Amino acid sequence: MSDDFELDTDDLKRRMDGAMANLRTEFASLRTGRASASMLEPVMVDAYGSPTPINQVGTVNVPEPRMVTINVWDKALVGKVEKAIRESGLGINPQLNGTIIMLPIPELNEERRRELGKVAGQYAEHARVSIRNVRRDGMDQIKKAKADGMSEDDQKFWEAEVQELTDKMIKAVDEALETKQAEIMQV
């Protein structure tokens, strides 16, 4: 191997891992018919003049498989939290009980399950594209080094390293998608 060229595979792996972490976050926000505190993460409440995550204005609990409760700390914000949930597009109808907002999670019908499966597929495709972009960056670095005098054997070695890492990450995305789609379709 060439002494003057060392591809930073750790950086490529870190960037690909970032795409996987983002995919997991997006998957967590998909409603699967079971209650989860993470489904409220994208919802922002207009609290004290700025958008604030729900978990910063109250305590989010999951007391039962089909129920999420939010114990709002400031009574003045209860209406704003309820409004933010209604307008979030989650398809959940909040019920008030003093400063506690209860969110019963309805059963998903077959059509909605299929829609969510397609959305999960789109999220996975975005992750694959991100991983391929990182791969392309790595291959471009190798081509530049080849132009600067790297041997063909070294070029093939580094290209194989990058491709192996890419294949491993794409396989992880596919497995995560398969798991999420099975979870969504589970009744």
* pLDDT, tens digit, 9 for 90 and up, residues 27-48: 877 766 677 777 788 788 988 8
Same structural domain, 71 and 129? no
78, 104, 130: which is the final residue of a domain? 104
Mean pLDDT of 144-153: 89
Q: What is the pLDDT of residue 40?
A: 82
Mean predicted lDDT score pLDDT of the chain: 87
pTM for this one?
0.68
Same domain, 150 and 133: yes
Please write the tens of the pLDDT for every residue from 177-186: 999 988 888 7
Amino acid at 6: E
Distance CA 2, CA 133 (A): 25
CA-based nearest residue to 157, from 145, 148, 168: 145
Q: How confident is the model at residue 124 (pLDDT cuts 50, 70, 90)?
A: very high
Among candidate residues 104, 119, 148, the one where a domain is terminated: 104
In a domain, 66, yes or no: yes
CA pair distance 158, 20, nearest whole angstrom: 23
Decide if 18 is inside a domain. yes
| More confident position, 166 or 111 | 166
Binned at pLDDT 50, 70 and 90, residue 98 comes out as: confident
CATH of the domain at 93: 3.30.1360.40
Q: Which domain holds residue 148?
A: 9-28+109-185
Considering the domain boundaries, does residue 3 fall inside one?
no
101-117 residue pLDDT tens: 998 887 778 887 888 88
CATH number at residue 19: 1.10.132.20
Same domain flag for 22 and 54: no
142 pLDDT more than 60 = yes
Please tell me the predicted confidence (pLDDT) of residue 1.
42
Residue 31, pLDDT score = 66
Looking at the structure of the chain, the number of domains it has is: 2
Are 4 and 151 a contacting pair, CB within 8 Å?
A: no
> d(Cα 105, Cα 92) in Å, to the nearest integer?
7
Q: Is a pLDDT exceeding 80 seen at residue 89?
A: no
Please indicate, yes or no, if residue 2 is contained in any of the structural domains.
no
**123 in the same domain as 179:** yes
- Highest mean pLDDT out of 49-58, 89-98, 109-118, 166-175: 166-175
Looking at the structure, do residues 84 and 128 belong to the same domain, yes or no?
A: no
Residue 183, SS3? helix
